[in-house]
Amino acid sequence: MIPKTGLRFPSFQDLLKTVNAGQEQLKHARDEFVSQWGALGSQWGINRTMAQIHALLMTAPEAMTTDEVMEELQISRGNAHTNLKELVAWGLLRIVVKKGERREYFEAEKDVWQIFTIVARERKRREIDPALSVLSRCVEESRDIKTPEGKAFHDQMRALEDFVGFASKMSDRVSAMKYGPALQLATKLLS
């Protein structure tokens, strides 16, 4: 009930309610994010747990321990450990050591552009580079075949090689850019 005099200060109870409701909502939203992001991971060729851990830590206010991650996601120690380390290897997580504590804490890279360049680099390494190497080999092997089919094959391989090589360079360039310039460039492209 709002008194006739206008706005009043919220009571302690009101504040408490707001905060509790907020915490509830936040937990809900965050759980959804973690779970859905995990499901998306599959589509991205990243395993579910890895994606979930990443989502969890990206939205964690503080660095977390292996045990906290296990607890939160209800997964085994081995699974948590392997995927945490894999994320560290990617550069998406950092290990933090707190004074006077023996165990490791993990903290996520939260900058969106950083995350993007890391993922782009990794995908290039796993998807583009091997393709390029296969194509180069095929171009070589078919270089001096004289038959028409041979020439057609060679040309097709060359066209693919050129394109993939090009994509590779583009990926490098973009990954190497700072956010500002990239944004500017992209904006021009979108205009």
Partner DNA sequence: AATAACTTTCAGAATTTCCTGAAAACTCGG
Partner DNA sequence: CCGAGTTTTCAGGAAATTCTGAAAGTTATT
- Judged by phi (left if over 0) then psi (alpha if -120 to 50, else beta), residue 93 lies in beta
Contact 188, 145 (CB under 8 A): no
104 contributes a contact to DNA by CB under 7 A: yes
Q: Which of 14, 16, 141, 184 binds a copy of itself (CB under 8 A)?
A: 141
DSSP-derived letter for residue 142 is: T
102 binds, among a copy of itself, DNA, none (CB under 5 to 8 A by kind): DNA
184 binds, among DNA, a copy of itself, none (CB under 5 to 8 A by kind): none
119 contributes a contact to a copy of itself by CB under 8 A: no
DSSP-derived letter for residue 177 is: S
Task: Give the footprint of a copy of itself on residues 156-175 (CB under 8 A).
Answer: 156-157, 159-160, 162-163, 166-167, 169-170, 173-174
Distance (Å, whole) CA 62 – CA 64: 6
Q: For 79, phi and psi rounded to 5 degrees?
A: -60, -50
Contact 90, 50 (CB under 8 A): no
Contact 37, 48 (CB under 8 A): no
Distance (Å, whole) CA 181 – CA 2: 52
Q: Which residues bind a copy of itself (CB under 8 A)?
A: 18-19, 22-23, 25-26, 28-30, 32-33, 36-37, 40, 43-45, 58-59, 61, 110, 112-113, 116, 126-127, 130-131, 134, 137-138, 141-142, 145-147, 149-150, 152-153, 156-157, 159-160, 162-163, 166-167, 169-170, 173-174, 185-186, 189-190
Q: Which residues bind DNA (CB under 7 A)?
A: 42, 47-50, 65-67, 74-79, 81-83, 85, 101-104
